[in-house]
Structure 1
Amino acid sequence: MSEVVIGSILSAMSTGAGALIILFIKGAITHKFRDTLLAFTAGIMMAASLLSLIPQSMESGGYLQLVIGIFLGVLTLTFLEKNIPHIDLEHSKSGIEFDEKAMLIIMAITLHNIPEGLSVGVSYASAAQDTGNLIALAIGLQNAPEGLLVALFLVNQKISRFKAFILATLTGTIEIVTSLLGFYLTSYIGFLVSYGLAFAAGAMLFIVYKELIPESHGDGNERTSTYSFIIGLLFMILLLEI
């Protein structure tokens, strides 16, 4: 129980860790740096899904449970994307600009974090050792650049850097609640474990292919992003083998 609490808190607070950078930077974050970071995160999440979550879902259930769980994860993210405003980036090599309203963005990012929290909690309920820690790490690494983007947006809306840091950090806190919810549901209703692991895999694969990879390839940094993706994938494989 203590592991899931610590893991969910660290994963959720990674949003704040990314937002913390806003207190120290003077100019804009270049797209090349951001694209490289997003691609690295995509590699980590891809490896975690294909080499950890999916095999464990198959082991604890079967192919049917895997298919149902993955599609539930994908459909959940699809619903959120269609019905909740999302940060749209204007691709520019000099920096990042936003045009949505601050409150809508805060609500959107908060709600987008719900499936990620569930993924962490379900992973801790798995019988496989260290799965929860690895998925918490993968989600946490994805949360860090997200936190920075939210903070940058808020600063652009004339909100003070400190307030932007606090608000961006708070958007990640819902993951703690949903992580514990996912953990308790799958712990006490055993047959949900296979579905839950597949749900987590589906949600992560959707984020990788729909969000992270396209956003890391829009500014002429495709080759650098590709290298970063492969390095991220190999990094997670190394963690899985240790």
Structure 2
Amino acid sequence: MSQVLIGSVLAAMSTGVGALPILFLKNTLTHRWRDTLLAFTAGIMMAAATMSLIPEALSYGGFVPLGIGLLLGVITLTLLERSIPHIDLEHNRKGIAFDQKAMLIVSAITLHNIPEGLSVGVSYASDAADTGNLIAFAIGLQNAPEGFLVALFLMNQRITKWKAFIVATLTGAVEIPMALLGFYLTSVVSSLVPYGLAFAAGAMLYIIYKELIPESHGDGNETTSTYSFIVGLLFMIFLTQIF
């Protein structure tokens, strides 16, 4: 339990670490740099899902639990996204009142962080301890640029840097109870482990294809983003080989 708590806290707090540079930033980043960061994190998450979560789910339960869990992850995220307003972090240039915008930002990012927290918890519940550490690391790397982009977006809405930093940091906190919930459920009912791992993989694949890749291709930076995606993929595969 202590290991999953530490891993989930570190992954969640990476959002705040990523938002930290906003306090020292004088000028906004170019779309090219933001698209590059998004594509890089998409590559990291793709490798984590396909090289770790999916093989683990197959080894625990075979194809049927993998297929069911993966589809449940995709469907759940689809339903959640339809019920919570989505914020286009990269391409929305219209100013909206602070209170409304802040609430929508928190809701949208919390939506993404729920399956990420579950992913960490479920991964620690498997017999392979390294899987939990690897997924927590991958989620943490994904959270850092996400926190930066959220804080940057809030700052562009004329919110003070400190408020933007605090709001962005708090969006990652939901991952901690979600990780503990995922760990508890799969630990108590061991047969849920392959379904949980596949659910986490499905949720991550949904975020990659539905959110990160389209966002990184929205400003004419497709080639740069493609290379960044490949580098992120290779980077995560390299880490899996080391650990």
Please report the TM-score for the alignment, with normalisation by the length of structure 2. 0.93
> How many Å separate the matches in 2 of 1:73 and 1:30?
33
Displacement, 1:141? 1.5
Which residue is equivalent to 2:152?
152
Which residue is equivalent to 1:178?
178
Q: How does 1:129-148 map to 2 (within 5 A)?
A: 129-148=129-148
> How many Å separate the matches in 2 of 1:146 and 1:90?
11
Native 8 Å contact 1:35 1:221 kept in 2: yes
> How many Å separate the matches in 2 of 1:80 and 1:150?
19
Which residue is equivalent to 1:103?
103
Which residue is equivalent to 1:37?
37
SS at match of 1:130: helix
Native 8 Å contact 2:112 2:207 kept in 1: no
Displacement, 1:98? 5.3
> How many Å separate the matches in 2 of 1:2 and 1:214?
37
Which residue is equivalent to 2:239?
239
Which residue is equivalent to 2:3?
3
Native 8 Å contact 2:151 2:165 kept in 1: yes
Paired letter, 1:139: I
Which residue is equivalent to 2:162?
162
Paired letter, 1:106: V
SS at match of 1:114: helix
Native 8 Å contact 1:90 1:98 kept in 2: no
Paired letter, 2:149: L
Native 8 Å contact 1:89 1:98 kept in 2: no
Native 8 Å contact 1:80 1:112 kept in 2: no
Unaligned runs of 5+ in 1: none
Native 8 Å contact 2:89 2:149 kept in 1: no
Which residue is equivalent to 2:73?
73
Displacement, 1:87? 1.7
Native 8 Å contact 2:15 2:148 kept in 1: yes
Displacement, 1:156? 2.9
Paired letter, 2:59: E
Native 8 Å contact 1:113 1:174 kept in 2: yes
Q: Name the CA shift for 1:165/1:65 in 2 (closer, same or farther; >3 Å).
A: same
Displacement, 1:44? 0.9
> How many Å separate the matches in 2 of 1:8 and 1:40?
21
Displacement, 1:82? 1.3
How big is each residue's C-alpha offset from its partner over 1:22-71, in whole Å with a ceiling of 9 and x where there is no partner? Answer: 10111111111111111111111111111111111011112110011001
Q: Name the CA shift for 1:10/1:199 in 2 (closer, same or farther; >3 Å).
A: same
Displacement, 1:106? 1.4
Unaligned runs of 5+ in 2: none
Identity %: 73
Please report the TM-score for the alignment, with normalisation by the length of structure 1. 0.94
> How many Å separate the matches in 2 of 1:79 and 1:170?
23
- The CA RMSD over aligned residues, in Å, is 1.4
Displacement, 1:118? 0.4
> How many Å separate the matches in 1 of 2:206 and 2:89?
19
Which residue is equivalent to 2:224?
224
Paired letter, 1:30: T
> How many Å separate the matches in 2 of 1:90 and 1:164?
16
Q: How does 1:79-90 map to 2 (within 5 A)?
A: 79-89=79-89
Which residue is equivalent to 1:117?
117
Displacement, 1:113? 1.2
Paired letter, 1:116: E
Q: Does 1:211 align with 2:211?
A: yes
Displacement, 1:151? 1.2
